[in-house]
Structure 1
Amino acid sequence: MDILYLDFLFPKGHLNLDINQIDRLSKIGDVTILSCNDRYKSIPFKARLIESKYLNVPYGKIKTRVTSLKNMFITSIMARKIKRDCIFVSSFDTLMFSLGRFFFRKEDKIFLVHHFNTDELKQPIKSALFKSYMNKVEHIVFAEFIKNHLISKYKISPKRVHVIPHHMVTINNSNTFRKFDCVGLSNSNDQDIIEEIIKLEKAEGIIKRAEKRVILKSKSTEFDNGYLKVINGFIERTQYDNYMENARSIYMPFPNSFQNRMSGTLIDALSNDKVVYGSDIPVVRYYSNKYPGICNVINNADDFFKLIVENSQNNKSNFTFDKFKEDHSNELIEKGMTNLLKFEGRSR
């Protein structure tokens, strides 16, 4: 099978996911990657990489849409010379794909990987345009609850929505010493929750009195009393990994708007044996039901302080971590992709 691997947005944070997907696909068929310059330092030896200076990484809300449409047009021209049985799109703009899909052949079998796209469908215009192509392509999501939402809410044919587990990101960690009791560094953190935690800590010094060390990320605020540290701004991957490596547990104070999508923070945490505590949102509920003990729902800032003081995050279940790792293994991802592509090959 000949697989064409495309990306219309080239998100920096998705690079590890892209490499893993390419690696899995290259064990199934012959993979050709069309990419902007210098994105991939190395690729699986069986894959073929074609770079173009005309493909660009988009920045800014409006420019992202324009650039993604341009990337679709350029890759569609390049693709005309490439033999393919299917096209695997690792990221796409929900709006612009409604136009850009016409650049490709009508008979092309296209697989779209959903990230934040499903949550965007709450916006009427995006929902309407999505419906114009939703049953003309295949959809790949990372969890059953996202699949169920697409089918029940938007009436997509169940045969067109496929669940492939998100790959694990493991930090090479031989360090058993944990400097931080809890770390929460996602860009998705709810600013209101962070502000409430800072307000309570300033007033009562709960974390300081308990001598717990906590690091959280804010969109705009900085705070540090020697025990609770709140940082803002961009965090380099090496620094992020260092915090993750040295944490006892991970906190995900996400907003209610974070609904039908996967969390890379959650996957990073569970991949590295870190207990997760998060807001009462679908992805946390889904994983807490599936892997009780290592993923837990907490409701508000008061619950967070209670958690830190009681130090209950030491309650681990090795069996549950093993089950998570089994369910997100490369072998299971490859098996899912193999079954998916074999089925599609028969249906052509």
Structure 2
Amino acid sequence: MSNHAKICIVDTIFPKGHRYLNSKLLEAISEYYSIDVINNYSYYKDIKLKNVNIIDKKQFRLGNNKLLNHLKLILNGLFVSMSIKSKKYDAIIFFTFDTINFALIKFLFRNKNIILIHHDNTARLKDKFKYQCFQKYRNKVKHIVFSPILKQYLTTEIGVDSNLIFDIPHPLPADCSVIKDIKTSPKIILSTGYANDETLIKDIIEYEETNHILEKNGIIWKIRSSNITYEGASLSIFNEHISQEEYNELYNNAYGIVLLYSNEYAYRFSGVLFDGLTHGRIILGPPIALVNYYNEKYPNMCITFNNISELVNEIASLKYPSKECVECIHQEIITQSSQSNIAESLRNVIAK
């Protein structure tokens, strides 16, 4: 495929938390290709890249009604397909997709080179109905994942042709080229994932209110929740969106990163985990497949826990490996996830 090939970027969900990720993927793809991006409202308002053309096309915003959301996703797919019907693209890339609805809208996109980027989709395939929907197109499109553990799962457990799955490096977060000094007074622990388990959060509140271990050890733990807000001496639980600038500042000041994910998250990439490692911060997470993979790869920087008591006491006694060890891991990740490597990986996916 020539460098003059044209790519269309499609989305029907537009997650707020993916804006930065998507901008870095666009930057990488535009190194080699001309791109049309189907935009919704002001999602890509800050994108100003050479070879990238933003096409505004209003779509339905998703709400809290799941049944209505499915209808909106189908209509969004219809709107997008109609807007690009007369154009010829060498590939169509879905930056996000809904597993169920893609089975219904795939026929609208006649392009044979369709590429799906997996986020929580892989983890949700344990749901029988979603699994059945996915089977209808699993080997009719290409799949992008951000970890080899996800490629292995899709191949061995779901039956996707390994030649159709591409494990590419995850884009680096902003402001991570140099590891900032780790602050110890106070020790700030972060759990900023959108998929944090609400039951675990409630258990943490109850455990700290009873034992005060965080307070006794001068630790402040900031946790994102979907519906809980709480302010205690050592716990701060919030549910509002934070800007990219606030996010970067939090990670630069953090002492450690905790993943509060349930077993349902096992086969889903974690941007929080990746961002923590790239900032040179220790990760603590449950023994699910993704965390176990990084625990085996970086045992000094990724630690597993089995229950809340074990987790809180691990946080209280947390110590870092040598500065040389942290820097070595940091440099390895920075090199692997360089924009040039990502651009070349995406070029390979599109051209193959």
TM-score, length basis structure 1:
0.90
Counterpart of 1:280 (choices 281, 287, 306) is 287
Structure 2 residue 325 is matched with structure 1 residue 320: no
CA RMSD of the aligned region, Å? 2.1
Counterpart of 2:242 (choices 219, 236, 247) is 236
> Kindly tell me: are residues 9 and 221 of structure 1, through their superposed partners in 2, closer, same or farther at Cα, counting changes over 3 Å?
closer
- List gaps (5 residues or longer) in structure 2: none
Q: Note if contact 1:193-1:253 (Cα within 8 Å) is conserved in structure 2.
A: yes
> Kindly tell me: are residues 218 and 17 of structure 1, through their superposed partners in 2, closer, same or farther at Cα, counting changes over 3 Å?
closer
SS in 1 for 2:264: coil
Question: What is the letter of the counterpart of residue 37 of structure 1?
Answer: Y
Q: Note if contact 2:220-2:236 (Cα within 8 Å) is conserved in structure 1.
A: no
What's 2:269 paired with? 262
Question: What is the letter of the counterpart of residue 329 of structure 2?
Answer: T
Question: What is the letter of the counterpart of residue 252 of structure 2?
Answer: E
Structure 2 residue 142 is matched with structure 1 residue 135: no
Aligned length: 340
Structure 2 residue 338 is matched with structure 1 residue 333: no
Structure 2 residue 207 is matched with structure 1 residue 200: yes
Pairs within 5 Å for 1:43-82: 43-53=48-58, 55-60=59-64, 61-82=66-87
- 4+ runs of 1 displaced by more than 6 Å? 172-175
Segment of structure 1 superposing worse, 59-68 or 235-244: 235-244
Structure 2 residue 147 is matched with structure 1 residue 150: no
Cα distance in structure 1, aligned partners of 2:303 and 2:100: 35
Q: Note if contact 2:197-2:261 (Cα within 8 Å) is conserved in structure 1.
A: yes
Superposition deviation, residue 132 in structure 1? 0.8
Question: What is the letter of the counterpart of residue 250 of structure 2?
Answer: Y
Counterpart of 1:38 (choices 23, 38, 42) is 42
Cα distance in structure 2, aligned partners of 1:165 and 1:295: 19
Cα distance in structure 2, aligned partners of 1:230 and 1:21: 33
> Kindly tell me: are residues 259 and 175 of structure 1, through their superposed partners in 2, closer, same or farther at Cα, counting changes over 3 Å?
closer
What's 2:15 paired with? 11
Segment of structure 1 superposing worse, 140-149 or 67-76: 67-76
- List gaps (5 residues or longer) in structure 1: 344-348
The one-character-per-residue Cα deviations of 1:124-170 (angstroms, maximum 9, x if unpaired) are 11111110111111111111111111111121111111111211112
Structure 2 residue 92 is matched with structure 1 residue 83: no
The one-character-per-residue Cα deviations of 1:213-259 (angstroms, maximum 9, x if unpaired) are 32233444444442x21313223224433322221111112111111
Segment of structure 1 superposing worse, 109-118 or 251-260: 251-260
Cα distance in structure 1, aligned partners of 2:321 and 2:265: 27
TM-score, length basis structure 2:
0.89
Cα distance in structure 2, aligned partners of 1:332 and 1:302: 41
> Kindly tell me: are residues 299 and 325 of structure 1, through their superposed partners in 2, closer, same or farther at Cα, counting changes over 3 Å?
farther
Tell me: higher relative CO, structure 1 or 2? Use CA pairs within 8 A at least 6 residues apart.
Answer: 2
